[in-house]
Structure 1
């Protein structure tokens, strides 16, 4: 397997050879029309200078018009072909990326900062797709056209062809190398800064109200501004090699044209070259460089794509190891048993040993402050994080013996910051169960307190949440996420802060109903574990685990 990250990542685009060939053919036809137009125009100008009968020029005049029109037509076809190939490729890459993240180790995605994960699944995939439009097709077209231009010129003057070949090498090799070096400086220095900017900007946009109340909004915005300035400075440092790259092609064009002119004048004065051949000799190089003019940008695109590929593959390589490679299916009541379980992130705090027996229908509340290890414990029980020590079994099977699909289907972790998509209310609920019907969705939304809100929407459950979570309040978002969890087929529900952002009375009422077997929200046969900061005193929970803020190696005491 190649070590080049770009070569490893290109299969994600699932490029169809036929589509790529059509794009290259359209590009060759576009610049080939320009090359033929330059040669024919040079012949026509010099031949017209000799004032022949006008009918001698009619075919050439019509051909010039045809080439001028065909150039625009082929350019349009080339744009259609390349962008169609690139867009299909990015769609395929994102599909495979999401699928591998879903099927692989959840810690690969969960361990990344939010802004960094957004950058890798968004901007980095776009950068990888750009390699088709900005690099692969232009490079193939330029190679074909450069060979054709040198070959045509060699028929007229081998010396001019040699000069053109050297000039094309400067424009097509040296200039792209300098551009790639500039891009590498800008990308490697600015990638981390842009990731920090994305993280802080998204945090400030999504949680502005909470940050303002906590007095941390200005600090978050300042961090985002500082990260943006760092990215700009990295771009400025790369400006010098980029400037030399921009100057290389005009210099090569000038040298080639002047050299061709001098060689042509010498041959014309000796009587070995016709005026028409001399015109072609001087004007043809101008069109030949049109093919190599795109190569510096292609080198930049390749460099950026290689860096983006490295970041994408880092996530995929981390996710490729399925934490549950077993082949056993869960067919029992989904009883979860933890013994001497210690939970934590690599290099972070570790909870104290925990023994827990979640029998079918059991109701458990985990209460404590932020950073105490509550969410980490839920993720470990769900198999999303490996235990630091101890064991977790479901129906008598260790987690590594159970197939991932079976485990996810029976034990569901529902995060407090789960995503709401820019689609309808109904489709947001179908994330949990794809066969959900409108009537059942309305029933569950009524149960979680959103019946009046949905009835007031223009299209009911078919109303699109423009902007996802930005289309609803914090409380409505929590209720929607709770409805999604209730609709899931999971027999064990692990709910992280389901009543956050609700007013005290409404939140307490929901918690009481979640923790009561006859509360009407969850069937008595399903197990519920709820993480919360504030637990009402009069709940029907079978077990309450109270934890203190995590301190190094002592986070979660045994209940």
Structure 2
């Protein structure tokens, strides 16, 4: 977690130091104020308590100032950490050459580990939750876990040491009470948070994913008669989340009660010890002074301010660890792994392409159903040819075949990029939407790609050109413009193999056919001749120049036809 957040030990130490000074000022203020109250009762000369009065004012001011500086320092570290983590997650996706993938219902998106058991269902709503809320949860670790825990340890030791100077039994009582408040209560909170995380987070993510499905495809769901069912399912998941939150809140209440109970026990214990050691009619030989008795009773009340934040810290740590686990499960490559050099990427891409050619089957049929149920590496090799067209009726499995070629049912392949037909357009500029595929894309390269896919006239009408913002993302453009922008994003990606799912959907028939011709023609100039292009389409122009045509029949069988060399 520390490495993913990119935390600076020096910045964290500064934040902890300001936190210690802030709560330390409060602890010293409580002790000095208690001494001053008892000493004033003896009515000494004013000059005898002048320094103490001035020190109380100084500590009161320094507490507020140090608290403010501590908040500035911790939030500075947290925001830097969140930016670093989010950048690292996006960079990891970019290095994988699979910048976007999603799971369709009925299939599993698997990531291979030593046990090959990490199969998960992933939809766009899950992705948004993980790179959004989950990284926010990681950033909260700095503000609510690292700094509060360190400050609590320092202040607890200081408070017990101060009380031990006055009375060892009272110090023992305070130490036990602080342990209950600082260890037992956080443990109870962590248990409650873990239960809440398991029960709530899944339902909340499911609700987000289902809600996005309804928002994006309400018209299609209504036509299919499934809109009411989708809404009912979303309501049910939201209801389960509320019930789980209520149950976890009840358990958290017991954890919250531990701290005030510990404060009461500590104050009562200190008072009883003080009564035994000091009293008008008795007391132990050499008993304490009135000032010491006052400090003994009042200081523990201030000492619990530091440990009072630990139950919330335990809850935050639990949710943050779960968020880190989800982010690691989401990443196709290890988070924080060094990026391969350009030479390594080229070598791996070339080797992968050679492997595809060696494994390519002869013309004939290839069973899609067998490959989906047993997605072993190389089970569905890509056919030969720099330009490949995949055709067939809706529901035959064309997209599934494309995802299998990308390795999305096993280990994602280096140098192979799958661009889904419903990929996301972000609420940012056209340039930044293209930079999702390649972060170092220049303005001229982006503009050339947009014009290459036929959006030049539209681009000329925009007020800021390539820097024009797409307010509301995909809602800012038409269906055809969206497809062309996604195709431009594919063209600028560094991958050697482009797997394009319905890139000409929602385009006029003539424009779509011409775009397909250009994509499948190595000499058209639209795509580098040395790159591999695989296009899924419903309508293939008769005069296309594809090297290979893969026809998927309604039964899921593939027939490969190659152009004679």
Structure 1 gaps of 5+ residues are 1-8, 388-398
Deviation of 1:522 (Å): 4.6
TM-aligned CA distance change 1:107 to 1:370, over 3 Å: farther
Deviations 1:365-403 (CA, angstroms, capped at 9, x unpaired): 21223443323433444566669xxxxxxxxxxx98xxx
TM-aligned CA distance change 1:203 to 1:277, over 3 Å: same
- Partner SS state of residue 207, structure 1: helix
TM-aligned CA distance change 1:308 to 1:160, over 3 Å: same
Deviations 1:516-543 (CA, angstroms, capped at 9, x unpaired): 5676745667654321234455655555
Is the 1:201–1:224 Cα contact (8 Å) retained in structure 2?
Answer: yes
TM-aligned CA distance change 1:370 to 1:46, over 3 Å: farther
Deviations 1:158-201 (CA, angstroms, capped at 9, x unpaired): 22222212221221122112111111111112232122112112
Match of 1:475 among 455, 480, 488: 480
TM-aligned CA distance change 1:199 to 1:536, over 3 Å: same
Match of 1:280 among 295, 309, 312: 295
TM-aligned CA distance change 1:150 to 1:244, over 3 Å: same
Match of 1:27 in 2: 19
TM-aligned CA distance change 1:492 to 1:44, over 3 Å: closer
TM-aligned CA distance change 1:430 to 1:87, over 3 Å: closer
- Partner SS state of residue 273, structure 1: coil
Match of 1:366 in 2: 390
Deviation of 1:420 (Å): 2.7
Match of 2:115 in 1: none
Match of 1:390 in 2: none
- 2: CA distance, partners of 1:128 / 1:41: 39
TM-aligned CA distance change 1:178 to 1:13, over 3 Å: same
- Partner SS state of residue 328, structure 1: helix
1:458 has 2:463 as partner: yes
TM-aligned CA distance change 1:412 to 1:355, over 3 Å: closer
Deviations 1:202-237 (CA, angstroms, capped at 9, x unpaired): 222333344344443333232222112112211222
Match of 2:105 in 1: none
TM-aligned CA distance change 1:34 to 1:13, over 3 Å: same
1:377 has 2:401 as partner: yes
Match of 1:268 among 256, 279, 282: 279
Match of 1:42 among 30, 34, 49: 34
Deviations 1:40-96 (CA, angstroms, capped at 9, x unpaired): 111122222222222322222221111111111111111122222222223333333
Match of 1:223 in 2: 233
Cα RMSD over matched residues? Answer: 3.6
TM-aligned CA distance change 1:20 to 1:432, over 3 Å: closer
Deviation of 1:444 (Å): 4.2
1:113 has 2:122 as partner: yes
TM-aligned CA distance change 1:436 to 1:347, over 3 Å: same
TM (norm. structure 1) is: 0.82
Match of 2:507 in 1: 502
Matches within 5 A, 1:531-546: 531-536=536-541, 539=544, 541=546, 543-546=548-551
User: Structure 1 stretch 153-162 or stretch 177-186: which is displaced more?
Assistant: 153-162
Match of 1:306 in 2: 321
Is the 1:184–1:303 Cα contact (8 Å) retained in structure 2?
Answer: yes
Match of 1:245 in 2: 255
TM-aligned CA distance change 1:277 to 1:109, over 3 Å: farther
Is the 1:372–1:556 Cα contact (8 Å) retained in structure 2?
Answer: no
Match of 1:556 in 2: 558
1:339 has 2:350 as partner: no
Match of 2:383 in 1: 356
- Partner SS state of residue 556, structure 1: strand
Match of 1:167 among 177, 193, 196: 177
1:183 has 2:217 as partner: no
- Partner SS state of residue 238, structure 1: helix
TM-aligned CA distance change 1:85 to 1:489, over 3 Å: closer
Deviations 1:280-301 (CA, angstroms, capped at 9, x unpaired): 1121111011011101111111
Match of 2:113 in 1: none
Deviation of 1:245 (Å): 1.1
- 2: CA distance, partners of 1:107 / 1:426: 16
Is the 1:108–1:319 Cα contact (8 Å) retained in structure 2?
Answer: no
1:235 has 2:237 as partner: no
Structure 2 gaps of 5+ residues are 103-108, 110-120
Match of 2:89 in 1: 97
- 1: CA distance, partners of 2:441 / 2:134: 34
1:328 has 2:339 as partner: no
